[in-house]
């Protein structure tokens, strides 16, 4: 099941994606709140082939909903009404933006506000996935258009909706009051204001010392050490049998939190699920930061994650696999052996024999290693790794009925993937359908595709460091069947790993461009089309004074 996480704000909406099989949430940018946000989310959902959304529901330190919570619920209602088959789940969240910013600061020096929103969305989605894993299934019912419509009708009538919200609010308030009253008794009758001040202070870090290193891993990699004892990381173990109470007590005994009671209250209010594992904490971390880490779980030491991006090549992917620990010889052998998989239909003419002899066996899997974030055990067989990526591509093809749609445009499954790989490299997402139509127009009348990126790929196969093909003229003139500047038809194989958007663009090209045979990306980032070579040359003169001279 594919999921989209949303961190809903009044100016921007952070986006994250995940597959319940890989259980890893990945930030995927953001969109602006400008009146078109629901249409844009619907488009993203179509591209990702899902209608399941996870929306963060903010709560304050006491666990109560806020004005932002009401905004998020109203947003969910509008989303459900905009996408009738949408299934929406809420995930309680607090301080996700703070945590997102902290993570980004650990990884990079500069980042945009939108990146914080995307990271926050990934935290919300990951929390939901972890809860799903813990429960074994999604326990609550999805929020759908039916509920959204009912709420709208109820609000229009006036009273019932308010009554329902009051009931929920009373229930939550009752829980908070019960906990606070219990705290009052424990603290010897102090007033509620005093309890609140005690509670918020008790969640703060034991020390406000400024430390050299942001993480235990960073400290371990350095020859320097922290001077302050408060900055030094202590090992902390959570066993599967530990409860929130025992974890709180152990943290207090280790002098890592101020109050085990405040810790337990926070866990209770936020319905946090704490995970077993080996951790490293220090006194400069607040109770909230420690709880966040316990919710995320300790990093597993026997697995690795690998992220494959659309537009990457087999050469790029091989390097990533070597980087995570596989031998180069192992990787080459795995990529060059025969693979019996449904998605490879058309690649082989027989067992181990490529249909097109012009395609080097070293890149036989070009275009088929589908882009996603995967997690594998460290000693995973490379055949299993490759098979998993092929399965992901096959799911996209079957789920979007791509083979039949390719056929409507005169392409086989393999030809559709080849063309999509070129579109992936030639155009931005918004322009892919137009570029796909131009290429289909050219194929239909027997023109060469004239794609510079195919010429670049042909050169990369023989001279990746450009020691022989030293300028654009040499690259564009290099005689290879992959070079569609010289040869008509499709190249012998894909030239990159196409993403969902590129595949869908070939399946559903922009029919408004059926008379166009030329395109270019201008210096302003916009795509310009023309139906004649004269018009194309004029577009080059008007809009492509810089980019058209960039080295290939």
Tens-digit pLDDT profile for residues 237-273: 998 888 989 999 999 999 999 999 999 999 988 888 8
- pLDDT tops 60 at residue 161: no
Which H or E run contains 5?
Answer: strand 2-8
Enter the DSSP assignment of 272.
-
User: How far is residue 218's CA from residue 107's CA, in Å, rounded to a whole number?
Assistant: 11
Higher pLDDT, 332 or 92: 332
Phi/psi at 505 (5° precision): -65, -40
Crossing angle of helices 413-426/432-445, nearest 10°?
Answer: 130
What pLDDT, on the 0 to 100 scale, is given for residue 297? 78
pLDDT (mean) for 124-143: 73
Higher pLDDT, 185 or 144: 144
The percent of residues in the chain predicted with pLDDT above 90, rounded, is 51
User: How far is residue 200's CA from residue 190's CA, in Å, rounded to a whole number?
Assistant: 15
Residues 6+ apart with CB under 8 A from 253: none
Distances in Å between the alpha carbon of 197 and those of 185, 251, 327, 439?
Answer: 15, 21, 57, 67
Residues 6+ apart with CB under 8 A from 63: 172, 175, 176, 268, 269, 270
Distances in Å between the alpha carbon of 510 and those of 406, 433, 506, 520?
Answer: 14, 5, 9, 16
Higher pLDDT, 121 or 144: 121
Domains and CATH numbers, the chain: 2-158 (3.30.420.140), 164-200 (no CATH), 203-296 (3.30.1490.480)
User: How far is residue 64's CA from residue 58's CA, in Å, rounded to a whole number?
Assistant: 9
The structure tokens listed for 141 are 């019912």
What's the pTM value of the predicted model, to 2 decimals?
0.53
- As a whole number, the mean pLDDT across the chain is 85
Phi/psi at 92 (5° precision): -60, 135
Query: What confidence tier does 174 reach under pLDDT thresholds 50, 70, 90?
Result: very low
User: How far is residue 333's CA from residue 316's CA, in Å, rounded to a whole number?
Assistant: 16
pLDDT (mean) for 482-503: 96
Query: What confidence tier does 464 reach under pLDDT thresholds 50, 70, 90?
Result: very high
What pLDDT, on the 0 to 100 scale, is given for residue 150? 66
pLDDT (mean) for 368-392: 91
Residues present in the chain in total:
552
User: How far is residue 230's CA from residue 246's CA, in Å, rounded to a whole number?
Assistant: 23
Tens-digit pLDDT profile for residues 335-379: 999 999 999 999 999 777 999 999 999 999 999 999 988 888 888
Distances in Å between the alpha carbon of 436 and those of 67, 310, 449?
Answer: 45, 16, 11
pLDDT (mean) for 484-512: 96
Query: What confidence tier does 334 reach under pLDDT thresholds 50, 70, 90?
Result: very high
């Amino acid at each position: 099941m594919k999921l989209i996480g949303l961190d809903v704000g009044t100016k921007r909406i952070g986006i994250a994606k995940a597959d319940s099989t890989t259980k890893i949430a990945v930030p995927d940018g953001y969109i602006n709140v400008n009146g078109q946000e629901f249409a844009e989310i619907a488009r993203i959902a179509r591209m990702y082939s899902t209608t399941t959304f996870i929306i963060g529901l903010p709560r304050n330190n006491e666990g109560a909903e806020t004005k932002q919570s009401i905004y998020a619920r109203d947003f969910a209602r509008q989303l459900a009404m905009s996408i009738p088959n949408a299934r929406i789940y809420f995930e309680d969240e607090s301080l996700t933006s703070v945590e997102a910013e902290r993570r980004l600061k650990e990884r990079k020096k500069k980042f945009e506000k939108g990146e914080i929103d995307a990271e926050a969305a990934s935290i919300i989605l990951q929390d939901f996935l972890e809860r799903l894993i813990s429960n074994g299934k999604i326990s609550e019912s999805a929020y759908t258009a039916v509920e959204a419509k009912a709420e709208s009708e109820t609000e229009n009538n006036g009273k019932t909706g308010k009554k329902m919200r009051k009931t929920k609010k009373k229930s939550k308030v009752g829980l908070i009051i019960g906990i606070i009253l219990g705290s009052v008794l424990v603290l010897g009758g102090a007033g509620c204001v005093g309890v609140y001040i005690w509670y918020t202070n008790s969640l703060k870090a034991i020390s406000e010392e400024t430390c050299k290193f942001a993480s235990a891993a960073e400290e371990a990699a350095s020859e320097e050490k922290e001077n302050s004892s408060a900055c030094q990381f202590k090992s902390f173990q959570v066993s599967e049998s530990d409860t929130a109470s025992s974890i709180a007590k152990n943290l207090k005994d280790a002098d890592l939190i101020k109050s085990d009671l405040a810790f337990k209250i926070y866990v209770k209010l936020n319905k946090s699920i704490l995970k077993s594992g080996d951790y490293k904490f220090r006194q400069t971390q607040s109770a909230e930061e420690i709880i966040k880490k316990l919710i995320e779980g300790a990093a597993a030491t026997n697995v690795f994650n690998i992220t494959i991006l659309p537009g990457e090549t087999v050469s790029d992917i091989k390097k990533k696999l070597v980087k995570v620990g596989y031998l180069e010889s192992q990787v080459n052998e795995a990529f060059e052996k025969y693979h019996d998989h449904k998605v490879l239909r058309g690649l082989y003419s027989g067992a181990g024999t490529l249909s097109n002899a012009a395609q080097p066996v070293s890149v036989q899997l070009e275009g088929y290693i589908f882009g996603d974030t995967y997690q594998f055990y460290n000693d995973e067989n490379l055949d299993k790794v490759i098979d998993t990526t092929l399965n992901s591509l096959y799911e996209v093809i079957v789920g979007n009925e791509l083979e039949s749609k390719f056929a409507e445009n005169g392409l086989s499954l393999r030809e559709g993937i080849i063309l999509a790989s070129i579109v992936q490299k030639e155009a931005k997402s918004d322009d892919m359908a137009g570029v796909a139509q131009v290429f289909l127009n050219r194929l239909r009348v027997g023109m060469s595709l004239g794609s510079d990126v195919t010429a670049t790929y042909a050169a990369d196969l023989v001279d990746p460091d450009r020691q022989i093909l030293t300028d654009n003229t040499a690259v564009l003139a290099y005689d290879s069947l992959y070079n569609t500047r010289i040869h008509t038809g499709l190249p012998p194989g894909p030239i990159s790993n196409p993403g969902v958007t590129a595949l869908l663009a070939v399946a559903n090209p922009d029919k408004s461009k059926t008379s166009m045979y030329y395109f270019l990306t201008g210096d302003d980032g916009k795509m310009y089309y023309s139906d004649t070579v004269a018009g194309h040359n004029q577009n080059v003169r008007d809009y492509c004074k810089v980019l058209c001279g960039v080295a290939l």
